[in-house]
Amino acid sequence: QQQQQQQQQQQQQSSQQPQQPQAQPLILCEDAEALLSDEELAQADGALGLLLHADDEARATAVATTLRMCTNVAAQPEEEKFRSVRMSSRAFQTRVAAVEGGLAVMLAAGFDVVVQETGEDCLVFRGAGRGEDGAAPPRLSYIISRLREMAA
């Protein structure tokens, strides 16, 4: 009987804990390219083009990392941990910032450099969440589509 009471208490406690938001299926804006301004397209294509100058290994790492970061924020835009990254983190520095075009791709996707109260630089996704159709914003959708092409 005592075990039953303990199990009931554990069940009550676990049901009272906040649920983690579930990732929604990633839906990209189908007409992203058509919705972007000429300036936004030029920024995105220029940034992606810079990645082509990197050696194969560095480029593959930068593409995989930026693709994962962009996909995470597109799938769960309300999740704060996906909306920002410390620019001083070792992983970001070696996988993205050290590769020509890596930072530019993040900026083209809708991330901005923001100085935190601590004085630390962070990349913060300032773009909107999902549109009415559930799709990721056009800039982010375009970058994800192009990074997927590069990763293939």
| Segment-wise mean pLDDT, segments of 10 residues, the chain, 152 residues | 65 51 68 90 95 93 96 90 94 96 96 93 84 80 94 90
Please give the model's pTM, rounded to 2 decimal places: 0.81
Closest CA to 35 of 135, 148, 149: 135
Residue 23 pLDDT: 52
Residue 1 pLDDT: 61
Residue 54 Cα distances to 45, 81, 102, 111, angstroms:
15, 28, 10, 22
Residue 19 pLDDT: 46
30 three-class SS: coil
Residue 127 pLDDT: 73
Number of C-beta neighbours around residue 133 at 10 A: 8
Residue 18 pLDDT: 45
